[in-house]
Amino acid sequence: MPESKNYHGTYAYKTDIGRVRKTNEDRAIILMNSDNEVFLAVSDGMGGSEKGDVASKLTIDLLKAAFKKKRKHRYLFSDKNWITRTCKNINKKIYSMAEKMRKAEKKSEKISMGCTLVAVLITGERMMIANIGDSRAYMLKDGELKQLTTDQTYVEYLLKTGRISEEGAKTNPDRHILTNALGVYNSLSLSITDKPYHGESILLCSDGLYNNLDSKEIANILLTDERTDQKVVSLISIANHAGGSDNIGIALWECIAND
C-alpha cells in the first residue's frame, strides 16, 4: 500500500464581536503537530445561555490541551475514538462546572452554559469532521464551496421532514434554536464523519458568517489571491458590512504543497 501524503499549508483563525452583540462568545483555533496532523476548531457560545463565553473558551482550551498530547493513529477508528472521548470529556466538564456554579450561587434552576463545536482533523489523505450544534465546516473544491456538516437545529429538522422549504428556513423565527450543544446535557450526541482529503481548502465558521454571507460570496473571497490571514479579515469585514448581527468565528486552512 502506498504511503499517505502529508499536506502543508497556510492557516489563519480569528473571531470578531460583530456589530450588535455586547460580548464575543466565539472562539477558534488551528493547531499542527510533529506528525503533520492539522486540527481546526470553532466554538460558538450559546447566546441564550448565561455563560456561553465561558463554555466556548473552556472547549477550545481543552481541545488544545488534548491535541498536544495526541499521538498519530494508524487506524481511522482510533482518531474517531480520540475525538469522541475528548468531546465527551469537555461536555462533562462544562456540565459539571454549571452545576457547581448553580450550587455556589444557591440557585434552584440549572445554569444554562453551552456552546457549539465544529472540528476537523486532517491526517494525510483523510480528514475527520465532528460537529455539535450549528457551526459549520466547508470544503472549497473545483471553485465551489461544499458544506460538510449538517446543522443540528430545529429548522434543519423541519427541512428534513419536509415541513418547510429552504427559502422558508432562511427567515424562520426559530432558525437559531439548537437541538444539540456541548455542556447542556449530561450525555452527548456527537456527529462524526470521515472523508478523503486531497489538498482542498477547509473553512470552519460560526453562524455569524454564513447568516450574513451566502456560499457563493464566501467562495469568491477564498478564490482570491489574498493571503490566508487577509481572506479571514475580508470575510469578517464583509459579514459586518452585511449587518454583523452576531459574533463571527472563522478558522481557514489552505494547502500549498504535499510530500
Beta bridge partners of 43: 27
1 in a structural domain: no
- Express each pLDDT in 160-204 by its tens digit: 888 888 887 877 888 888 999 999 988 898 999 999 999 999 999
pLDDT score recorded for residue 83: 96
Mean pLDDT across 124-131: 96
For residues 103 and 197, the model is more confident at 197
147 in a structural domain: yes
Query: Strand order of the sheet with strand 26-32?
Result: 26-32, 38-44, 117-123, 126-132, 191-196
45 in a structural domain: yes
Question: With 60 as the cut, is the pLDDT of residue 54 above it?
Answer: yes
pLDDT bracket for residue 108 (50, 70, 90):
low
pLDDT score recorded for residue 16: 98
Mean pLDDT of the chain: 92
Q: What is the pTM of this model?
A: 0.93
2 in a structural domain: no
pLDDT score recorded for residue 1: 36
Give the domain extent around 254. 7-258
* % of the chain surpassing 70 pLDDT: 95
pLDDT score recorded for residue 107: 73
Question: With 70 as the cut, is the pLDDT of residue 31 above it?
Answer: yes
pLDDT score recorded for residue 101: 82
Question: With 70 as the cut, is the pLDDT of residue 2 above it?
Answer: no
Could you give the number of structural domains in the chain?
Answer: 1
C-alpha to C-alpha distance for 42 and 27, rounded to whole angstroms? 6
Which SS3 state, helix, strand or coil, does residue 196 take?
A: strand
Domain with 158 in it: what CATH number?
A: 3.60.40.10
21 in a structural domain: yes
Sorted by sequence, the CB contacts under 8 Å of residue 111 that are 6+ apart come out as: 50, 51, 98, 99, 101, 102, 105
| 107: Cα separation from own chain's centroid | 31
